Amino acid sequence: MSVTVEGLTKKFAPGGRPAVHQATFTAPSGAITTLLGPSGSGKTTVLRMIAGLEAADAGTVRLGALDCTRLPVRERGVGVVFQGYALFKHLSVRRNIAFGLEVRRRPKAEIDRRVEELLALVQLEALGDRLPDQLSGGQQQRVAFARALAIEPRVLLLDEPFGALDSRVRVELRTWLAELHRKTHLTTILVTHDQDEALELSQQVVVMNEGRIEQIGSPDEIYDRPATAFVAAFIGNANVLRGTVKEGQAALGAHALGALGSAPEGSAVQAFVRPDEVKLARADPDAPAMSLGLVEALTRIGGFVKVGLRLPSGERLTVELGKAEFEALSVSQGDRVLVDLGGAKIFVEDYSI
């Protein structure tokens, strides 16, 4: 079942800036759609309005053809998983999973059968009689997923579900969630600030900033073709360089990039280039000084090396190289290298190139 929101708007303070302004998108049936953005971007507020936990000031929410904008939570048929698990500490794993079915007064045999199915689905068959505080964080979150799925929701809503877990468990549960989705094919809306999580799990990404939607697209589209300067900077932790339009190109110190068409001469330019998109080469002794970068720092992290550069303009770049690539380059702190910024995304004033 698809989820469509149109013009969703929410203010928490009269006269204040909207927490969400005119949000419009469709989450396709059977897909994972991720609302991605920094803290305070409005993504959780959108999710809560879809769930019915927050009333919209304007706009509509539809589940399939049903307008559920004013329906109470229970009548929407959605399952919600929160960052903090929200398990009942005095109830066993089985009773936690069964809770929604018991409230709906389903027959005991049906409840027992459904609970056993879900314990198997979330791979916790042997832990059904334990209390939540006898489980690891990752296991508790899987119980929360099972409880949300017990009522057979039409849509699954996930609010930073792995945010309270350490990095290793987060990676494990991302893999687990992808497999769970392959088994259930349930329309899912995920809220996260974690780019890796969004790009790995999603079929569609909705990037939000300051209550507004910046871009909607597939993970590849968001990463390779950012539509706004915010998306270019946010996705991939890009380096930001500033310059001006000169003779139809972006003039960034010694670098002239892009074909900017009718962009006005002298207009301010921002260029965004990710650490893995910068190309480095050994400096030719005769190369003009303006095309070189000074190696200020080298940091080895696992299988790659971070290179900190300072350009002649004074701006700094972070470059990421694989170990083999770095060893072939054979540079040390204090050396100068040729810098190729050809992979940069260029934005001029209010439009992108």
Least confident of 50-54, 167-171, 173-177, 193-197: 167-171
23 and 108 both lie in a single domain: yes
What is the rounded distance in angstroms from the CA atom of residue 46 to the CA atom of residue 50? 6
Nearest to 352 by CA among 344, 105, 254: 344
This prediction's pTM:
0.87
* Residue ending a domain, choose from 205, 232, 259: 232
Task: Let me know whether 210 and 228 are in one domain.
Answer: yes
Residue 38 and residue 156 in one domain = yes
pLDDT of residue 237 exceeding 90: no
Q: How confident is the model at residue 290 (pLDDT cuts 50, 70, 90)?
A: low
Whether residues 132 and 36 fall in one domain: yes
**Is a pLDDT exceeding 60 seen at residue 301?**
yes
Distances (CA, A) of 140 to 124, 181, 324, 332: 10, 18, 41, 47
Can you give the CATH number for the domain in which 326 is found?
2.40.50.140
Show which of 232, 261, 296 is a domain's final residue: 232
**What is each CA distance from 211 to 51, 100, 229, in whole angstroms?**
18, 32, 16
State whether 306 and 319 are in the same domain: yes
Give me the pLDDT at residue 353, please.
43
- Domain that includes residue 339, residue range: 237-352
Q: Is the pLDDT of residue 151 over 70?
A: yes
For residue range 39-60, list pLDDT tens digits in order: 999 999 999 999 999 999 999 9
What torsion do the CA atoms of 84, 60, 198, 209 make, to the nearest 10 degrees? -90
Q: Is the domain of 222 the same as that of 274?
A: no
CATH number for the domain spanning 137: value is: 3.40.50.300
**pLDDT category of residue 347 using cuts at 50, 70 and 90:** confident
Question: Do 89 and 209 sit in the same domain of this protein?
Answer: yes
Q: Are residues 224 and 242 in the same domain?
A: no
Which of these three, 189, 210, 232, is where a domain ends?
232
* pLDDT computed for residue 55 by the predictor: 96
Better-predicted residue by pLDDT, 292 or 6 = 6
158-192 CB burial, b ≥16 within 10 A, e <16 = bbbbbbebeeebbeebbebbeebbeeeebbbbbbb
CA distance 218 to 232: 15
End-to-end CA distance of the chain: 36
**Percentage with pLDDT > 90 across the chain:** 73
Same domain, 192 and 304: no
Domain count, the chain: 2
Q: 12 and 144, same structural domain?
A: yes
Considering the domain architecture, whether residues 90 and 42 belong to the same structural domain is answered as yes
User: What's the confidence (pLDDT) of residue 193?
Assistant: 95
Regarding whether 79 and 220 lie in a shared domain, the answer is yes
Q: What is the pLDDT of residue 309?
A: 96
> Does 230 score more than 80 pLDDT?
yes
